[in-house]
A and B are shown apart, each in its own frame.
Chain A
Amino acid sequence: MTLTDVLELATPAPATPEPRRRRRRPKIGLWLGVGWLAAVAFCAIFANQLSFIRAYDTKIKVKGRTGRYNIGPGWRTWMGTDASSHDVFARCIYGAKVTLTIGVLSTIIGLFLGGLLGVMSGYFRGWVDRIGSIIVDSLLALPPLLLALLLVYRMDDLKGIYTWLGWLNREWEITLTLGILAIAPFARIARAQTIALRDREFVLAARSLGAKSGRVIAREILPNLIPAMLTVAVTGLGILVAAEGALAFLGLGVQRPLTWGKMIADGQNDLARAWWATIFPCLFLFFTVISFNLIGDRLARRFDIREAAI
């Protein structure tokens, strides 16, 4: 034993000064994100009860007449009217309900399927892992929006041919599609974390005591996956909301109530004349995406998950 070792033992915590001041960052961003999402969700859920939100089909009349974009943003209609005299604000709120529901449900689908795939790949390795990684790579090889377009359109088609698919409506088609898109990122992070956890002492201990694989996964692995999966889920929600918008923009959205993407598409040609019909849905989309990102960013910091891993 050299002096090095002796001193190492004698000084358990080397007091290396941390030259950088570690201040707690203000949480304004987090609360702004939570606040926006809470407000939008509240309005969307109680849209029919709240007096300041007009009914979906209400047409605004100016001097007793309807008209294309007949009124701009102002006191009477906060965000103006669209091409068929509908209140843009009210329509944004009804769109929010659809978009957020689809986002949450598809995240749950992706979390479940991707988590299953990732944990199996990471825990059993070998051929399970190889098949898992081919599935994930295949899902990633096709540009996600292309995959989504294909899935939604074909589901539409097939439900006319096979009666057992009759229960599918647009909401479900899009939810399932986005859920499938979300599998790959969840599977990746779950796999990486499972591999890291698998060789940690407490898991090795459980395994050496003869615990069955299922039990080890349920008791030791899954609880430790929660922080990372939660972070990916929140950040992923932002991406899925944007993807839903893109699908709706490209003409494969929910038809009633319309979502933000479709509203942007409808206002596209009259952008110069009636900017509000485009800009307000854009802002709803932007604030929603950035809110999920703000919360996700906070979670990633909190749980020390690197962005590159996501």
Chain B
Amino acid sequence: MSDLIQASSRDIDGPLLELTDVRTHFRTARGMVRAVDGVSFTLERGRALGIVGESGSGKTILSRSIMGLLPPRNTVRGGSIKFEGREIGNLNRKQMRSVWGKEMAMIFQDPMTSLNPLMKVGKQIAEPLKIHLGMDHATARATAEKLLQDVRIPEAHRRLDQYPHELSGGMRQRVMIAIALACGPTVLFADEPTTALDVTVQAQILDLLNEQRKDRNMSLVLVTHDLGVVAGHTDEIAVMYGGRLVERAPTKVLFSKMKMPYTEALLESIPKIEDPSHTRLMTIGGRPPDLVNPPPGCRFAPRCMYVQDKCKAEEPPLEQAETPGHYFRCWYPVGSPVYLQVKERLADKPVSVGEVL
């Protein structure tokens, strides 16, 4: 695989992507919607980061905000986004255009609506190649075919002249990946890449993404609501809630030593293979917080089983846990005395979490 278009490997000190206090707010009739409210993290070259949260947690907005893909009108962005040491948070769409597709690429959730229905697949893949790498028609077409082979699409040559509606959902997602990979981006954002797909196809797509990441020395940001998706495919996980980063840790650490009751609740709502069949799954009651008027204390407090008075009044800071690289935002984390006390009391009268609220 030596003729792959590799991610640019300029030697730069420091992380590939560095976010400091990133905010993305929308002006609406109801007031300012704080979709992303002070998020900081770093991403190293070649690593995979999972961003996990419910719908409305701000994860999708965060990824689009990093790429600068949001419509500029009525969007207020703040904080700093550094890419390879260069500030890109304040660039306009025109300035970002040389970054899009070439340095950063994106895969969307729904392969049914994300490809232009009136344009042949081959042309859609060749488009960024012509723009960024200045390829002529024949070279671009040949490269497109190569890319289709890379993403394991059979009969790649024939597919070039097909339209999206002639392909299955999984196949279209592969085409999207091919488009994203075309110019060898340094970082790839995958926004719920498997949600719209059949379960059997999901794993294949995730494996494909990971394999391409390693082959191309590319970083991957996997945005999803499904902890199961990120479990085997990321190095690190960031959990978002109500526009904030609430817990961040290396994948293994997060699953073994989670601190946030929210993360715990997310995990408990995944069906486990060892459970007997028809086991009731835990659900998180209530709704995500109102992003116009977020609760004054911890944003998860209204839905948290272990909520105390302090949680409702004061917002906890992002603290470091005992394991390096593990941060969380909670006054009474999993394993703390108050937590254990409440858990014991709840165990006495078994109720589903939803009824507590």
Q: Which residues of chain B come closer than 8 Å to A21, judged between CB atoms? A: 27-29, 74
User: Which applies to chain B's interface (DSSP): helix, strand, loop or mixed?
Assistant: loop
Contact A3 B228, beta carbon cutoff 8 Å: yes
Kindly state whether residue B225 has any CB partner on chain A within 8 Å: yes
Residue B285 at the A interface, CB < 8 A? Answer: yes
Residues of A within 8 A of B74 (CB): 19-21
A contact patch SS: loop
Contact B61 A4 (CB under 8 A): no
Check A3/B269 contact, CB under 8 A, given A22-B28, A23-B29. yes
Q: Is the CB of B33 within 8 A of A17?
A: yes
* B195/A19 in contact, CB under 8 A: no
Smallest CB-CB separation from A18: which chain B residue? Answer: B28
- Asked if A10 is at the interface of the complex by the 8 Å CB criterion, the answer is yes
- Give the residues in chain A near B70, CB-CB below 8 Å: 19
A304 → chain B, closest Cβ, in Å? 17
Which single residue of chain A is at the shortest CB-CB distance from B269? A6
29 contacts between A and B (CB under 8 A): A1-B281, A2-B228, A2-B271, A3-B269, A4-B225, A4-B226, A6-B281, A7-B54, A7-B225, A7-B269, A10-B283, A10-B284, A11-B287, A14-B55, A15-B56, A15-B288, A16-B55, A17-B33, A17-B35, A17-B291, A18-B28, A18-B33, A19-B71, A20-B28, A20-B71, A20-B73, A20-B74, A21-B29, A22-B28
Chain A proximity of B328: nearest CB distance (Å): 21
Taking Cβ atoms with an 8 Å cutoff, the residues of A that contact B are 1-4, 6-23
**Nearest-Cβ distance from residue B34 to partner chain A, whole angstroms:** 9
Q: Smallest CB–CB gap between B111 and chain A, Å?
A: 16
Nearest chain A CB to B313 CB, angstrom units: 24
C-alpha gap A13/B55 in the complex (Å): 9
Sample of 8 further A-B pairs with CB below 8 A, known A1-B281, A19-B74, A19-B75: A2-B226, A4-B195, A7-B54, A7-B225, A14-B56, A18-B33, A21-B28, A22-B28
- The 7 residue pairs across chains A and B that have the minimum distance between CB atoms: A15-B56, A14-B55, A17-B33, A6-B269, A17-B26, A10-B284, A17-B35
* Residue B131 interfacial (CB < 8 Å): no
**Does B29 lie within 8 Å of A10, measured CB to CB?**
no
Q: Chain B: residues with CB nearer than 8 A to chain A?
A: 26-29, 33, 35, 54-56, 61, 70-71, 73-75, 195, 199, 225-228, 266, 269-271, 281, 283-288, 290-291
Complex CA distance for A120 and B27, rounded to whole angstroms: 47
Q: Which residues of B contact A17 (CB under 8 A)?
A: 26, 28, 33, 35, 61, 291
The CA-CA distance from A3 to B61 in the complex, in Å, is: 21
Determine the distance from Cα of A15 to Cα of B54 in the docked complex, in whole angstroms. 10
CB distance from B353 to the nearest CB of A (A): 10
Q: Which residue of chain B has the shortest Cβ distance to A14 in the bound complex?
A: B55
Chain B residues whose C-beta falls within 8 Å of the C-beta of A20 in the assembled complex: 28, 71, 73-74
Q: Measured between alpha carbons, how far is A8 from B283 in the docked complex, in Å?
A: 10
CB of B84, distance to nearest CB on chain A (Å): 28
Bound-state Cα–Cα, A142 to B75, Å = 51
The smallest C-beta distance from B31 to any residue of chain A, in angstroms, reads 11
CA distance A75 to B286 in the complex (A): 72
Residue of B227, B266, B288, B291 with highest tally of chain A CB at under 10 A: B288
Please give, as numbers and ranges, the residues of chain A lying within 8 Å of B269 by CB-CB distance.
3, 6-7, 10
Please tell me if the beta carbons of A11 and B283 are within 8 angstroms of each other in the complex: no
Q: Which residues of B contact A9 (CB under 8 A)?
A: 283
CB neighbours (8 Å) of B29 from chain A are: 21-23
CB neighbours (8 Å) of B35 from chain A are 17
Query: How far does the alpha carbon of A183 sit from the alpha carbon of B74 in the complex, in Å?
Result: 45
Q: Are B228 and A11 in contact (CB under 8 A)?
A: no
CA distance A11 to B285 in the complex (A): 8
| Alpha-carbon separation in the docked complex, A20 to B28 (Å) | 6
B58 to A, closest residue via Cβ: A17
Q: Are B226 and A3 in contact (CB under 8 A)?
A: yes
Q: Are A3 and B225 in contact (CB under 8 A)?
A: yes
